[in-house]
Structure 1
Amino acid sequence: MDSSRKPVKKNPRKGAFCLSQLFFGWILPLFWRGSRMGLGKDDLTKCLKQDRSEQLGDQLEEHWEREVSQARIANRRPKLRNALFRTFYKQCLFDGFLIFLFVLIKTILPVVLAQLLIQFQEPTNSTHLAVQMLDEVSIATTLPPVALPLMSGLSETTETLQNDLAFDENAMINRRRRKRRIRIDNDSPAPGNTIYMDIASTGRQDETWETTMAPDGQLEASEEGTMDSNSLVGANGTVIDDFTTFLHHAWNDTFWLSGLLVLLTLLGCFCCHHSDLRQRLIGARMRIASCSVIYRKTLRMSKKAAGQTPAGYMINLLSNDVSRLDYGFIYIHYVWVLPFQACFTCYLIWRRVQWAAIVGVVGLLVKTIPVQTGLSRLSSIIRMRVAKKTDQRVGIMNELIQGIQVIKMYAWEKPFHKVVSNARKKEVRQIRWASYIRGIYLSTMIFTERSTLFLAIACCVIEGRAITADIVFPMAQFFNILQLTAAIFYPLAVSLGAEALVSIDRIQEFLAQDEHDPNAQASGLKRNIDDLHLQDNIGRPAIDLQNVTASWEETTDKTLKDLTVQIGTGKLLAVIGPVGSGKSSLLQLLLGELPIQNGTATINGDVSYGSQEPWLFTGTVRSNILFGLPYDRQRYQAVVRHCALTTDFQQLPDGDKTVVGERGTSLSGGQRARVSLARAVYNNASIYLLDDPLSAVDSHVGKHLFDEVIGPRGYLAQKRATRVLVTHQVHFLKEADWIVIIEGGKLVTQGTYTELANGKVDFGKLLNCGVKGAKEHGSTEEDMLASDIPEDEIPFIDGVTLDGYKLLKGSTVSLRGVTPSSCASSIAENLGRQVAEDQAEGTISWRIWATYFLSGGNILMLMFTFIMLLVSQAIVSGSDYFVTYWTRQEEKRLVNPDEVYTSTVDFLYTYGVIIIGVVVFTIFRGYLFFNICMKASRNLHDRMFARILTAPMRFFDTNPSGRILNRFSKDMGAIDELLPKAMIEAIQILLVMIGILTMIAIVNPLLLLPLIGAVALYAVALKLYLRPIQDLKRLEGITRSPVFSHLSATLTGLSTIRSSNAQEKIREEFDELQNVHSAVWQLTMASNAALGLWLDCISTAFVACVTFSFIVLHQDTYSANVGLAISQALILTGMVQYGIRQTTESIQQMTAVERVVQYTEILSENRRIDTENHS
């Protein structure tokens, strides 16, 4: 309810123009400020309109209600996935187009690469002979104009020559453009006229000679594009369209091909990152809408359903389950894109190698889709098991935190430690299997493409095809791109989508719970609240129960049995009875929470409720009292004075503006009880239901509250309000107008005090004991009562000072036998603590990394794992370089067939052995790494839990339960599952990048210069990004905790919220908390996308340097080396940014370790006592 937490800064994305949106320029100021000064809570921005919780919740709730109605008509179960689809499908359509365009561009890239490599290919012996004969034909000679038509026979000669020489289909006529001059005699064609003459045709492309009349009468010829094999057309003949001519030129020009290659790569980068960001934002909106609907359901949930739903289950819904929606549908479009891409890729490869294309594509799909789908299904099954085990553990932790005082009082730490440890072991057992499956999945991304290339090459060898660079490297690129979809995006779409659907089903199950409806649920309950004027109610009972029977469960014993009670307007009804007799259930019935099965209950007036357990939420004391109602200064002062809070406000550091934590932390038990009573009294109702509000205060304060608030001369009686008081303090019964005694849910007797004391019930002894007990207690709070303080001297309203000086922090002593001097320092110290969660600053320290890895294994184990990572990567990079070496030898064999080289079959066997090594070592390294991560996760949880159990009560008083549970739910979930995956991917990509850059440097050492420049730009971008993203991640964790705390507090005070009709107000507060978190989340996702785009642009520039270097420097090199360098550089595009993003993701997830390590260093009770004894 504290509006001061709302951000005031404008979201930087709002109003950004097109180019700024395209290049993410709008986020640069945030990066610049964050890299220099860091980002804190003051940098939080407003949420964008399309991401606001209330708007998204309204949309999803509308579609969910429509789905429920349609399901009821069709006699089926409503499905939340249908409602989510109808809510967000329109936003996904454009993203699907962007992803389709991205896949299309990536699939065309190998075609351009193949055409480019052809320009660098060495001619074979037969090609040299063809060029020599053509040179003899085209020697500069003088020809008369009439001889020009005779040149038409040249094409026939050339065609015959081509057939006779049996050109190799993979050979080139020439490596560079050459120009030849044919001198024409006097009557030559006009200058500028062009003659096209096709001289040769290979299996892959046709060679075209373009002849142009120069001004000096010479005929220039240059080797260019592709023409018909028998065409020779002059200026007066059929002229080819200029655009077609340009395409022929460009398609066989290395500069144009290189430019096209770079341009397509750049376009793919923009499509990739913008579609990815849009999909992630849609996933976030699904999460936000689901959270809003879950919370709204919580407010409507019946007391019976709430009792059957563990708090841990609901907290897990809002932490782990809804988080699956963030990532569950990012790659969903690849489900329908994959079939198109597979067919298109197979067609393009078929045009070059025929049946090897089918073997390669089908083999890749067989190794990816069935295997990955099976792993995904198995992962989803294990995920359900993990979710159930996590629910149990978080539920136990929630109960433990709520009852920590009792646990410490009875020294139950060891039994609870055993319970939580057993629950954690069962959970880790399932997580371990999920981690191993994830390790196998990540390993397949390494060897799938290479094993597929092996199959395709083997097929080519069997068919007797030449193994050349323009076949092998484009084919490797095809498989790499198809694998990206088939082995990564498609399985992610299936696995993450399956996990998201499991979570959606769990949310759907929760939304199907029974709802609280006072008018429908309790069919016998009638409320008349239209006329709120009390004088109009005189003469009719405020509460009228006639033969009421009620029960929480239809099959269990009745909670209340055949009750008939009637209380007039403005009267005080006292309800007494032994513990568990049904007193509180009677109030729940009047609130409409307890279903009525028989009889009728009539309530004439609106109701205000004061719970037995004081309920406070995180906010100021004033906001806890007002509870969303308008501030009426006069009424507020009167309520505070009558509830004996005046002196307490004087002693609070900021008066009634002091922020208190969940459950009123930093306040004593008596203070919490009086604040809770003040909230009920401030609500201007006609009927007040007070569930033993005097039990938490001592007898004198209780007497003051009864006399000033509840009794016949109290504040409520002066308003002629009806009061129903549940109490165990029988000495107040004399003041009651009517007394009801309940036992076992049955009405034992009822009447006035006089009637009951005169013989109907002998409770005189109880009354005397109560009075005697009251007299025995000293007046510990007597001097704190507000009746001695004039109204015009109350200094607490604005939390300011008397006479210009701030009020001293005094003591409040609601507990019996505690003097003000004995607890003044303790209370003051607690009140001085900030309720807000502290935010760590700077980068993650090496101590945190060391703590994490050393928690997973000793030094020897870590060194062995590191060595295995290096060895496996050496084998992977060796397999790529071996393909280059093999291709180069095959090209030499074509050029010099008389030389002796290693046989192709031997090369194939060697490559097969290397591929087997790649498979074995990548799987083994994944097993080692995930095993270390699981041990680290288990040990960190155990240490944190041990510290929590031994933490002093001050820790629990100053930290909301939602914040503590966040460590055991969200943070441990990140350490269990997200962190290991991010780290292994970052390590794999880092090692692959090192191997790629090494091979490129070997092919062309001069590329080290642009490589150094690219690395420098990478470092600049990373430095600009790293600190802000870590701060944003910390802020995301900090802004997420209040959401959980708000839910936990709502569950505790559900009856109070409903009785005060504050559902709408408290829902708005929840939506605002979500908006704060959503703004940080949106900035975090945009930051990741911005970094990815910028890094890919740098990588594209490096690809341009690699590609054009072979053209500009005129280096005579094998096309195999050119193919290796360019294809590896293309892999860098996307891999660099993804590797750095996964590295930063690892760092971001490491903040969860940092937060857990903080709790492993909590000062324990024993250590605190030892320190105090030594001091």
Structure 2
Amino acid sequence: MIPRIFMVIFNCSQPLLIKAVIRYIESPSRQSSCSERYLILAAVSVYLGSTFSSSQYLYRTARLQLSVKSSLTSLVYHKTLGTAADAADTGKATTVMSTDVDAIAEAPSMFHDLVGRVLEVTFGLLILGDQVKWLWPVPLIIILFCSRVSKFVAKNIRSRQRNWNEATERRIGALGSILGSMKSVKALGITEALLSYIADLRNDELARAGEKRFMDCQYNSSANALGLFSPAITVALFAIVSHFKNVPLDTAVLFTTVAALSIVTHPANMIMTIYPRIVSVASSFERFQEFLMASPLEDTRKLEAEVRPAGTNNGDAVSLTDVTVNGKNSQPILRNINLKLSHGSVTVCCGPVGSGKSVLGKAILGELPTAKGLVRLSSKKIGFCDQTPWVMAGTMKEVICAFDASVDEAKYKSVVKACCLDHDLSPFHDGHDGLHIGSRGVNLSGGQKQRIALARLLYTGENIVVLDDSFAALDGTTESQVIENLIGPAGLLRKNGAAVLWITNSAQYFQFADHIILLDKGMVSREGTAKEMEPYVDALRKFSVEDDSPAPSAPTRPDKTQTKRDAHNDLYRQTGDISLYAFYLKSTGLVAPIAVVGTTATYAFFNTIPTYWIKFWADSDGSNTAVFAVGYLLIAFMAWAATSVHMWTTLCLLAKRSGTHLHDALAVKILGAPLSYFVATDIGVTLNRFSQDIDLVDRQLPNSFARFATQCCKMTAQIIVMSLVQTTFAYAVPLCAIVVYFVQRVYLRTSRQLRVLDLEAKASLYSCFHETIDGLPTIRAFGWQRAVEQRNINAIDLSMRPVFLMRCLNRWLLIVLELIVNAVAVAIVAFAVLGGSGRGTRVGVALNLVILTNSTLVSLVLGFTDLEVSLGAISRLKSVEEMTPQEDLSGEALIPDKSWPARGELVLKDLATGYSIRHNVLSNVDLIAKAGQKLVVCGRTGSGKSTIFMSLLRLIESTGSINVDGINILVVPRSIVRSRCFIAVPQDSVVFKDASLRFNLDPTGTVRDRNLRDALKSTGIWNVFSDANAEAADILDQKLFSLPPMSVGQQQLFALARAVAQKHRLAVSRCYSDTGDDHSQRARPIVLLDEVTASMDSTTETKVYDVVEKEFVAEGHTVIFVSHRLGGLLGRLREGIDAVAVLKDGRVMVETDFNKLSNVESGDEQSNASS
């Protein structure tokens, strides 16, 4: 605060210095040379004191802001770690961490600035009172009037700011969900529908932004009236009073009054413009407080040591006594559960989909609080492997060893071997230790991710283990081997004495269990040993296909992250790159920038000319006082009108048009990129394009562009006027320009390098947040909260370093620029008092312009700095538009007629495909799926099953030919292939929680409610969302997050219902007829089902096959199952019609003798039974 007080003192000394210099010049008898030296020394002291005190103030303010920002960001992360997994929202956390925290961090500087401005207004009024006597309250009255108007206008700013932030949060949340599931999104062929959905969210956000911006225009219009009309009215009244008193205008008093009014009105104007910022900060603080005050996850579990006296522990690792767990609607989803897990034992929990198996696991993990009963644990650190495994970005070794500072190599190798990872990943030339698995494990197959998560669980060595269907993505052979290595008689978990709860429906492995519980409708219906439970769980049995050869997929690994590429592109971007301005202006159209520049030039002229007008007024004989007074008021009005229109064209015209165009173009490019782009690019980097860069486009770039244009015009006008009144100054302009040019070159080069570091650090911080939200249950289960929090603190610290250095660099630049202006000001004073020539009016104009020029130059540089940062966002968006590869290639232009595919016959000829050009997973594949046939593609994990799935959907590049009804789909646009040729159900079911149930089923909105309801009913999902009396439209229009949550198995059923809805959607779009019983003329898309029953019990699996038979097979569709289990499929295959394709060593073997496959399964089962 002390530097700010000195700033006030030095700033308020400038009018007194101007008065003293003018008095000295106009004095009839010059005083001694000592007075001249004192005046020059006073000028040096005032201007240098102002520069260095402001520098110290801004430096200390920057440190305070960054300290507050770091603390608040860490607090957001800490709160996120304690939030329930189903309540954690990536969009909300990101918005709070970025937009809200940035706003709140400005609060301390706003407080100090407010105090300083109040002091400046007070001292300015005292100086003004000494000059104009009883007229000093005039500016105060104007201040009070304008403040009342501004308060009336701004009363709704807070709510509008909140609405804008919430709309931004919804958009970022939706984009986070979409970008995190791009493989499934593309497989479903809903890219166009999602682009429309994103555009609707964006339009809603811009509508909310428009309401806030319009209020800002009105507020700033009333605030600017103060700075423009206050000097004009005060000086006009002072001149009129002096005229009636027959007192000639005193030049020293007149220019001192103008300088004092500048000291009063500028701080007062800043105080008024601070109010919207205070409102914005208050809104952000309210959201931040609401985020922190949200109910945390309630851990109702107790440690044995807390509930039992010392020495009375019964040896149970986990004990559940009469446990009841409620869902969102307060209805029990688990009731009266009693369970004990002993050290060294394996307990299997089985049951149909939706019976509460995963809920039981979450209750033990503490992810769901108990409504009744007690959960006792020997330790709250639990080894957990989820159905959808969570893996951090990094190398395979880093993920498995997690946060172990000193890696136990022997232990690491043993767990890798136990999970069959050494065998599966051995083909990679750089070794599996260095394999980068990518964001969310995007470089891995589902089975590889599960085995890495299992290896991590083994490495941690926890004594309590929860396995939630953790082997579902593995083929039968790999599954048998891994299970044997983990929970077999000599398994690692048994050796470690771990208490294991294994949630599974794989009955062939129940022999490994010491105890089995069967759940049904949230209650334990049966329990006992494997032998006792055999009659009750036999229906759950699933089988595997024997296959011993690995054929690992080939993940791609980027040589350099997208963040670094963006940053280095920004580093070498030329200053004032015309192409960037052209790119930005193209997004705004011609009208908006022309209007902004025109109003800017008009405002700059009428804002600068009053000082020169006063010179003429002071030099006049006093006979035209009314003319000069009215002229001054008219000039003020023109300046006010110009700046008001300027604000509207900037915020409501230019900002909206650029925001709409750039966001839409970005969305089209990103969603149109191939899958390989998302493999090579971290989700945090891509999401930053939509959050950080679009935020710059919305909130900073329009203001920076307008601010820079305004200050350029004002600086030009001020230089012209100063050159007119001080001709000597005209000779100094080229010299000053040269100095400024070289200074800004050094500044920009350094700022670019710091910007590189800033981008990389911020991307790392955002990725850390997103990764944590994805893995909250796993992090809490293993007790990694402190470790991930320390990692986040390190990321925050790293992200603050370039920001702090950038602030220091800005301070250096401002010091240099202010010293240049100070040198000019001191030179003017020295020439005036030493030269003995020049009139007081000229010196008064010059010194008043120095005050304006100083702030103008500072604002010009800051505007240029902000513009450079914003242009960095434009450069990155331009790079995305120009450099992002697109899926559709030249030559893919064949548009089949609407009846295609009429039969659904698939022929693969010499197909070679893989995840990279250098490594084909499959080579020379020949395969035929006849029209109306059911084809099962099976094989071990990593054999290439999913590769075939993705190649058919054109998600990866292929050579050879893929013919559907005689048309090679390699030359058909990929959007048509996915939306018309195939109906796909990918392995990873994707849902959008912030969208309606209707949108999740039918993103195009063309399917009738009856068909949507029937699709949900046919898969058994309708009862999850609705009771018998509910209206379909009411349920379908509800947001998915407001409906009861679905288990993983239920999400797979929901995905199947979406496939049925897609069949009806294609009927509505007239790709085939949806009426009548004659199917001969109907187009028949091929149905692709990728591991659709992986997390289901046999009863639900049977229901799925029944739906497939009724909805697709019976209507003549070709159905391709991608599965590593045959199980219930074998009994549904038609002899002589259907076929099984077994993948092995990148080749395909087609089998139509199903007895051979049955024998293989029987042998596999017997080998398991005997082991």
Same fold (TM over 0.5): yes
Alignment partner, residue 968 of structure 1: 690
Alignment partner, residue 109 of structure 1: 14
Alignment partner, residue 1157 of structure 1: 878
- AA partner of residue 543 (structure 1): V
Does residue 381 (structure 1) correspond to residue 111 (structure 2)? The answer is: no
Alignment partner, residue 640 of structure 1: 416
Residue 586 of structure 1: which of 336, 360, 367 is its match? 360
Residue 137 of structure 2: which of 348, 358, 362 is its match? 358
Residue 584 of structure 2: which of 833, 840, 852 is its match? 852
CA distance in 2, matches of 1:290, 1:719: 41
CA-atom RMSD in angstroms: 2.8
1:909-967 per-position Cα deviation (integer Å, ceiling 9, x unaligned): 22222222221122122322331122101110111112222222222222232222222
Q: How does 1:1107-1122 map to 2 (within 5 A)?
A: 1107-1115=829-837, 1117-1122=838-843
- SS for the counterpart of 1:559 is strand
CA distance in 2, matches of 1:308, 1:836: 29
1:442-467 per-position Cα deviation (integer Å, ceiling 9, x unaligned): 66676643422211122123322433
Alignment partner, residue 414 of structure 1: 192
Give 1:748 deviation, angstroms.
2.0
Alignment partner, residue 743 of structure 2: 1021
CA distance in 1, matches of 2:312, 2:487: 20
Query: Are the counterparts in 2 of residues 1106 and 1129 from structure 1 also a CA contact under 8 Å?
Result: no
Say which is worse superposed, 600-609 or 905-914, in terms of deviation.
600-609
Give 1:1024 deviation, angstroms.
0.8
Does residue 618 (structure 1) correspond to residue 393 (structure 2)? The answer is: yes
Alignment partner, residue 679 of structure 2: 957
Structure 1: gaps spanning 5 or more residues: 1-95, 122-171, 178-222, 225-248, 785-810, 814-823, 894-901
Q: Do the aligned partners of residues 320 and 1167 (structure 1) sit closer, same or farther apart at CA in structure 2, a change above 3 Å counting?
A: farther
Instruction: Normalising by structure 2, report the TM-score.
Output: 0.72
Query: Are the counterparts in 2 of residues 560 and 746 from structure 1 also a CA contact under 8 Å?
Result: yes
Alignment partner, residue 311 of structure 1: 90
Query: Are the counterparts in 2 of residues 589 and 595 from structure 1 also a CA contact under 8 Å?
Result: yes
Alignment partner, residue 907 of structure 1: 628
Give 1:474 deviation, angstroms.
1.5
CA distance in 2, matches of 1:852, 1:413: 26
1:391-431 per-position Cα deviation (integer Å, ceiling 9, x unaligned): 11111112222233322222222332232222211211122
- SS for the counterpart of 1:333 is helix
Q: Do the aligned partners of residues 516 and 925 (structure 1) sit closer, same or farther apart at CA in structure 2, a change above 3 Å counting?
A: closer
Alignment partner, residue 645 of structure 2: 924
Query: Are the counterparts in 1 of residues 684 and 763 from structure 2 also a CA contact under 8 Å?
Result: yes
- AA partner of residue 189 (structure 2): A
Give 1:881 deviation, angstroms.
2.0
Alignment partner, residue 399 of structure 1: 177
CA distance in 2, matches of 1:1017, 1:699: 74
Give 1:472 deviation, angstroms.
2.1
CA distance in 2, matches of 1:1023, 1:1153: 21
Does residue 566 (structure 1) correspond to residue 340 (structure 2)? The answer is: yes
- AA partner of residue 959 (structure 1): T
CA distance in 1, matches of 2:817, 2:450: 58
1:474-508 per-position Cα deviation (integer Å, ceiling 9, x unaligned): 211111122221112x2354333332232222222
Query: Are the counterparts in 1 of residues 341 and 500 from structure 2 also a CA contact under 8 Å?
Result: no
Q: Do the aligned partners of residues 1059 and 878 (structure 1) sit closer, same or farther apart at CA in structure 2, a change above 3 Å counting?
A: same
CA distance in 2, matches of 1:999, 1:941: 43
CA distance in 1, matches of 2:562, 2:824: 50
Say which is worse superposed, 1005-1014 or 462-471, in terms of deviation.
462-471
Alignment partner, residue 229 of structure 2: 451
- SS for the counterpart of 2:836 is coil
Query: Are the counterparts in 1 of residues 419 and 451 from structure 2 also a CA contact under 8 Å?
Result: yes
CA distance in 2, matches of 1:1025, 1:339: 33
Residue 462 of structure 1: which of 233, 240, 243 is its match? 240
Q: Do the aligned partners of residues 256 and 993 (structure 1) sit closer, same or farther apart at CA in structure 2, a change above 3 Å counting?
A: same
Give 1:864 deviation, angstroms.
4.7
Q: Do the aligned partners of residues 922 and 540 (structure 1) sit closer, same or farther apart at CA in structure 2, a change above 3 Å counting?
A: closer
Does residue 887 (structure 1) correspond to residue 609 (structure 2)? The answer is: no
Q: Do the aligned partners of residues 542 and 868 (structure 1) sit closer, same or farther apart at CA in structure 2, a change above 3 Å counting?
A: closer
Give 1:993 deviation, angstroms.
0.9
- AA partner of residue 848 (structure 1): L
CA distance in 1, matches of 2:317, 2:105: 51
- AA partner of residue 693 (structure 1): S
Say which is worse superposed, 712-721 or 618-627, in terms of deviation.
712-721
1:1044-1101 per-position Cα deviation (integer Å, ceiling 9, x unaligned): 2111111111121112111111111000000110111110111111111111011101
CA distance in 2, matches of 1:547, 1:682: 33
Q: Do the aligned partners of residues 1169 and 288 (structure 1) sit closer, same or farther apart at CA in structure 2, a change above 3 Å counting?
A: farther
Does residue 1071 (structure 1) correspond to residue 849 (structure 2)? The answer is: no
- AA partner of residue 16 (structure 2): V
- SS for the counterpart of 1:720 is coil
CA distance in 2, matches of 1:445, 1:1016: 36
Q: Do the aligned partners of residues 1113 and 650 (structure 1) sit closer, same or farther apart at CA in structure 2, a change above 3 Å counting?
A: farther
- SS for the counterpart of 1:308 is coil
Identity of counterpart residues, as a percentage? 20
CA distance in 2, matches of 1:442, 1:255: 44
1:1076-1128 per-position Cα deviation (integer Å, ceiling 9, x unaligned): 1011111011111111111101110111222222344432x332112111211
Give 1:741 deviation, angstroms.
1.5
Alignment partner, residue 842 of structure 1: 572
User: Which of 1 and 2 has greater Rg?
Assistant: 1
CA distance in 1, matches of 2:149, 2:8: 22
Give 1:529 deviation, angstroms.
11
| Matched length | 882
Q: Do the aligned partners of residues 260 and 447 (structure 1) sit closer, same or farther apart at CA in structure 2, a change above 3 Å counting?
A: farther
1:244-296 per-position Cα deviation (integer Å, ceiling 9, x unaligned): xxxxx86xx34422331232011011111221221122122111101111211
Alignment partner, residue 10 of structure 1: none
Residue 552 of structure 2: which of 812, 822, 825 is its match? 812
Query: Are the counterparts in 2 of residues 332 and 493 from structure 1 also a CA contact under 8 Å?
Result: no
Does residue 476 (structure 1) correspond to residue 250 (structure 2)? The answer is: no
CA distance in 1, matches of 2:228, 2:100: 36
Query: Are the counterparts in 2 of residues 740 and 750 from structure 1 also a CA contact under 8 Å?
Result: yes
CA distance in 1, matches of 2:425, 2:313: 38
Give 1:117 deviation, angstroms.
0.9
CA distance in 2, matches of 1:999, 1:334: 31
Query: Are the counterparts in 1 of residues 326 and 332 from structure 2 also a CA contact under 8 Å?
Result: yes
CA distance in 1, matches of 2:304, 2:692: 43
Query: Are the counterparts in 2 of residues 996 and 1128 from structure 1 also a CA contact under 8 Å?
Result: yes
Query: Are the counterparts in 2 of residues 548 and 560 from structure 1 also a CA contact under 8 Å?
Result: yes
CA distance in 2, matches of 1:98, 1:654: 59
Alignment partner, residue 672 of structure 1: 449
Residue 327 of structure 1: which of 100, 106, 124 is its match? 106
Give 1:637 deviation, angstroms.
1.1
- AA partner of residue 870 (structure 1): A
- SS for the counterpart of 1:659 is coil
Residue 1081 of structure 1: which of 803, 817, 824 is its match? 803
Query: Are the counterparts in 2 of residues 385 and 430 from structure 1 also a CA contact under 8 Å?
Result: yes
Give 1:374 deviation, angstroms.
5.0
Q: How does 1:480-629 map to 2 (within 5 A)?
A: 480-488=262-270, 490-516=271-297, 518=299, 521-522=300-301, 525-527=302-304, 540-553=315-328, 556-604=330-378, 607-629=382-404
Query: Are the counterparts in 2 of residues 1030 and 1147 from structure 1 also a CA contact under 8 Å?
Result: no
Give 1:906 deviation, angstroms.
1.8
- SS for the counterpart of 2:86 is helix
CA distance in 2, matches of 1:747, 1:1168: 59
- SS for the counterpart of 1:115 is helix
Residue 1003 of structure 1: which of 725, 731, 735 is its match? 725
CA distance in 2, matches of 1:1169, 1:667: 31
Query: Are the counterparts in 2 of residues 589 and 596 from structure 1 also a CA contact under 8 Å?
Result: yes
- AA partner of residue 812 (structure 1): P
